[in-house]
Amino acid sequence: MEYLIDTHVCLWAIANKKKLSEKVSTILEDASVKIFVSQVSLFEIAIKLNIGKLPEFETSLQQFMDSVTATGFEILPVKEEHLIRYTAFEFSPEHRDPFDRYLIATAEFEKLSMITKDEKFKAYTDRLNIVW
């Protein structure tokens, strides 16, 4: 099985595992499972760091990214196909977060299950396997 993890799941998997559900912890620890982190999530983290929205963040972005790959997660680069899917995807009007929208379009295009605690993702269960 292959998964794309939401930005908050990436942060928690590296820095605060207690916030993860038992199911998600089991998935993330399974060496036979492929876990992807989108470059867009790393961009979102960089933005939030820059504007002070992650005061609990205690490492540099480079150290965090090194931890992501050391954990065995694979960085998923931005692809033209993801952007095209983003523009064609019918998103819920209540779910306006552009980072979430990109992750949703990417997960659908790549046929990845999405790991997230974000309730707004439930609007897409007809097109995505959402795990928490």
Q: Which helix (H) or strand (E) holds 75?
A: strand 74-76
User: To which residue do tokens 């490492």 refer?
Assistant: 59
pLDDT recorded at residue 121: 96
Please state the CATH superfamily assignment of the domain spanning residues 2-131 in this structure.
Answer: 5'-nuclease (3.40.50.1010)
pLDDT recorded at residue 8: 97
Which residues are 75's β-sheet partners? 37
Q: pLDDT in tens for each of the 132 residues of the chain?
A: 999 999 999 999 999 999 999 999 999 999 999 999 999 999 999 999 999 999 888 889 999 999 999 999 999 999 999 999 999 999 999 999 999 999 999 999 999 999 999 999 999 999 999 999
Q: How far is CA 71 from CA 78, 80, 111, 120, in A?
A: 21, 27, 22, 27
What is the residue extent of each domain of the chain?
2-131
Beta strand 113-115 with 74-76: parallel, antiparallel or unpaired? unpaired
Read off φ and ψ for residue 115, nearest 5 degrees.
-100, 120
Which residues are 114's β-sheet partners? 4, 130
The amino acid occupying position 62 is: Q
pLDDT recorded at residue 1: 94
Q: What's the pTM value of the predicted model, to 2 decimals? A: 0.95
